[in-house]
Structures are given as structure tokens and as C-alpha cells.
């Protein structure tokens, strides 16, 4: 009887394991509440609204990110030279797209600008073309979120270009959500720096 009971116990354990719920995936975005809201027009939603005179146009070009983090999973640093790829904690889209979208929203909100990347813009308009290369995107749970970026601003039709580097380190609490909040705060500050460069005309003499 003992072998029979043992087999029954093993079968019960296997049945319970089969019924166990899988670990749910958690999805995160870098866009959202860190950006300032742009006042909505009072015109009906169905009525086309022309951009007012003096509107600033930008082109937020596709962002480059390091190969190590060019994936949907969150990549966190756990020790000297050691990282973990979190299978059940993912960005809602490719990381480069998430960063680019967050920067576009922030700069557009700061300046009341329109991002016309891959979109026709009015004749005579001279958008500010923004390039961003992320050198480091570090996530250290319970310590900090860091973004090290080289970026440039050049107005279409002009040769002058302003190239800058921003290193933004945000302290974070425990948990992966805190890391995401830290990166969002860092991107908001990066967007503010880019907006300041656009306000100064994107000229090299304007400084970073």
C-alpha cells in the first residue's frame, strides 16, 4: 500500500502544479504623467484647427539605445558586471520608441510645439531636428535610474548645430515600478534641456 500512497501523493503534487496560475507579465511605459499638459483647443473636436502663427515645429528623430537594453524586457544591474533580464517585467513597446515618444511629448509640451517627424509640415516652416543617442540606460533596483545621453539640435535650413551631453541620475526606492518612475523623471529633465536648446535657437553659441 505504501508505494500506492506515494504514487498518489506524487500525482496530487503534479496536478496542483499544473493548476497553478502562471506569473502575470507586468508592462511599463516611459510616457505619461511626467509631461506637462498642453491646453486643449476650445474648438469642436471634429473641426480642423490650423497651427497658429509662430508655432514651433520639431522633428524628434528615432532614438539610438545600447544593444544591451534594446529589448522589451527590463534589464537591471544586480552587481559588478552582472545584470538580470526580467522576463515578466516588460516595456509596452521597444525601449528606443518609448524613449523617443516620452521626449517628443515633453519637448512638445514645454514649447507648445508640433512634432512633424515623418509628417509633412507647412511651406516655409523650419523644424528643429533633434537627434538623441543614449549611451547608458542603467537600472539599479533600490538605488538609482541613470540615463547618459548625447543629443543635438539643428534647425532645418541652417548649418549650425548644438551638440550636448546630459547625464541624469535619479535615486529610486525598492521595486521595479520605482525604477520606471526614476527613468521617467530623468527623461523629463532631458526633455527640458532639449527644449531650452530649441528656445535658444539650437545655435552652438547658445551653450547646453
Number of other CB atoms surrounding residue 179 within 10 Å? 25
In a domain, 160, yes or no: yes
**Buried b / exposed e along 136-163 (16+ C-beta atoms within 10 A):** ebbbbbebbbbbbbebbbbbeeeeeebe
Report H helices in the chain: 2-19, 95-111, 176-199
Per-residue pLDDT of the chain (208 residues; tens, 9 = 90+): 444 554 444 444 444 444 555 778 899 999 976 444 333 334 444 555 556 668 999 999 999 999 999 999 999 999 878 999 999 999 999 999 999 999 999 999 999 999 999 999 999 999 999 999 999 999 999 999 999 999 999 999 999 999 999 999 999 999 999 999 999 999 999 999 999 999 998 766 667 8
In a domain, 2, yes or no: no
pTM for the whole thing? 0.82
Phi, psi of 131 (to 5 degrees): -110, 140
Q: State residue 80's pLDDT score.
A: 78
Q: Say how many domains are in the chain.
A: 1
Do the strands 26-28 and 82-91 form a parallel or antiparallel pair, or are they unpaired? parallel
Q: Nearest to residue 64, comparing CAs of 135, 170, 120?
A: 135
In a domain, 14, yes or no: no
pLDDT tens by residue, 114-163: 999 999 999 999 999 999 999 999 999 999 999 999 999 999 999 999 99
Q: What is the CATH number of the domain that holds 154?
A: 3.40.50.10610
In a domain, 180, yes or no: yes
In a domain, 50, yes or no: no
94 contact partners, CB below 8 Å, separation of at least 6: 70, 72
Domain of 190 in residue numbering reads as 26-33+55-200
Amino acid at each position: 500500500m505504501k508505494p500506492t500512497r506515494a504514487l498518489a501523493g506524487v500525482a496530487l503534487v503534479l496536478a496542483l502544479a499544473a493548476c497553478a496560475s502562471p506569473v502575470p507579465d507586468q508592462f511599463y511605459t516611459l510616457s505619461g504623467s511626467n509631461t506637462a499638459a498642453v491646453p486643449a483647443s476650445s474648438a469642436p473636436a471634429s473641426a480642423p484647427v490650423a497651427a497658429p502663427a509662430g508655432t514651433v515645429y520639431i522633428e524628434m528623430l528615432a532614438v539610438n539605445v545600447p544593444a544591451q537594453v534594446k529589448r522589451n524586457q527590463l534589464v537591471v544591474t544586480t552587481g559588478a558586471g552582472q545584470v538580470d533580464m526580467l522576463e515578466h517585467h516588460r516595456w509596452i513597446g521597444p525601449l528606443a520608441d518609448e524613449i523617443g515618444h516620452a521626449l517628443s511629448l515633453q519637448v512638445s509640451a514645454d514649447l507648445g510645439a508640433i512634432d512633424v517627424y515623418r509628417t509633412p509640415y507647412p511651406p516655409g516652416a523650419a523644424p528643429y531636428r533633434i537627434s538623441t543617442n543614449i549611451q547608458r540606460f542603467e537600472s539599479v533596483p533600490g538605488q538609482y535610474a541613470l540615463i547618459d545621453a548625447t543629443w543635438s539640435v539643428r534647425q532645418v535650413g541652417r548649418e549650425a548645430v548644438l551638440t550636448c551631453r546630459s547625464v541624469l541620475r535619479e535615486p529610486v526606492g525598492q521595486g521595479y515600478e520605482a525604477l520606471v518612475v526614476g527613468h521617467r523623471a530623468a527623461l523629463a529633465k532631458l526633455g527640458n534641456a532639449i527644449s531650452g536648446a530649441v528656445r535658444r535657437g539650437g545655435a552652438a553659441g547658445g551653450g547646453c
